[in-house]
């Protein structure tokens, strides 16, 4: 699943990223989330993001959260995968990332 939303031009990208991660942590519970720094490729360029490993009962999720600054404003991007039992990303998750890398263009 991909969530893409735009905030106003005056929004600080770091504040938006922090508030989003804080809200996700509050909703899922801090004990259920393991954050780490990561990178995601968009339009052939590695972009820094926060990788959130989320454990919910028997389900393992991974959210990659990042912000992108453009002329039109700040975009928040969340890419969520339901992980395989062994913790690996399913094939459709990898295909989604490849599609994003090839098609998402920000000015």
Average pLDDT, integer, range 14-32? 95
Residue with tokens 């991007």: 77
pLDDT at 44 over 70: yes
Domains and CATH numbers, the chain: 2-103 (3.40.1000.10)
Using pLDDT thresholds of 50, 70 and 90, give the confidence band for residue 107. low
Of residues 67 and 90, the one with the higher pLDDT is 67
pLDDT at 90: 83
Average pLDDT, integer, range 58-81? 91
pLDDT at 65 over 90: yes
The DSSP code for 103 is: H
Distance CA 86, CA 48 (A): 25
pLDDT at 94: 86
pLDDT at 29 over 80: yes
> Which three-class secondary structure state does DSSP give residue 101?
helix
| Closest to 38 (Cα-Cα) out of 13, 60, 64 | 64
| φ/ψ of residue 100, rounded to 5 | -60, -45
pLDDT at 3: 85
């Amino acid at each position: 699943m991909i969530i893409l939303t735009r905030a106003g031009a005056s929004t600080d990208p770091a504040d938006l990223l922090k508030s989003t991660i804080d809200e996700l942590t509050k909703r899922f519970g801090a004990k259920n989330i393991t954050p780490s720094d990561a990178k995601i490729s968009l339009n052939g360029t590695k972009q820094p993001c926060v990788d959130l490993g989320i454990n919910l009962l028997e389900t393992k999720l991974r959210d990659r959260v990042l912000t992108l600054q453009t002329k039109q404003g700040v975009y928040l991007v969340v890419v969520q995968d339901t992980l395989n039992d062994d913790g690996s990303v399913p094939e459709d998750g990898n295909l989604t990332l490849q599609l994003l890398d090839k098609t998402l263009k920000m000015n």
